[in-house]
Structure 1
Amino acid sequence: MKLADYLAAEKISHAAFADLIGVSQAAVTRYARGARFPHRVVLAKIKAATNGAVTFTDFLDMAEAAE
C-alpha cells in the first residue's frame, strides 16, 4: 500500500504521521508524493507505524524511477 493511500484511508495528517515517525511534515509529504525516497531507518519506522501496511516494496517504483 502506498503511504499516501494509507494516510488517506486512516485519516492521518502528514503532520501527525511526521510526529509519529520523527521526521518533518515536509518529509512525509515528499514521501507520500513520491518525490523523496526515505532512508532505511525511516522506512523501518514507517513500516512499524503502519503495522506493516506500508513497506519498503511500496517505495520501489520510486527507487527505480531515480535510476
Structure 2
Amino acid sequence: MNRIKTSFIECFSHRRIQHTPYYLISLLIFNMLFIVIFTIYLLYNIGFEREKNRLVELAETQSALIDIVT
C-alpha cells in the first residue's frame, strides 16, 4: 500500500505535470465536448426516429380514413 502511495505522489509531483496545467485542462475540455456532442447526437436521433414513426402512423391512419370515406 505504501508503495502505491509513493508512486502516486511521484506521478503528481513530476515537474512536467506541474508545468502543464493547460494541457490537462484542454484534455478535459476536449473530453467534455466529445461527450456532450455525442449525447446531443444520440438524443437528436432518438427524437427524430420517434417523430418519424409518429408521422408514419398518422399518415397510415389518414389513409385508412380516406379509404373508408371513398
Coarse TM-score class (shorter-chain normalised): under 0.3
Higher RCO, Cα 8 Å, sep 6+: 1
Give the alignment's TM-score, normalised by structure 2: 0.24
Give the number of the structure whose residues are more often helix, by fraction.
2
Which protein shows a greater Rg? 2
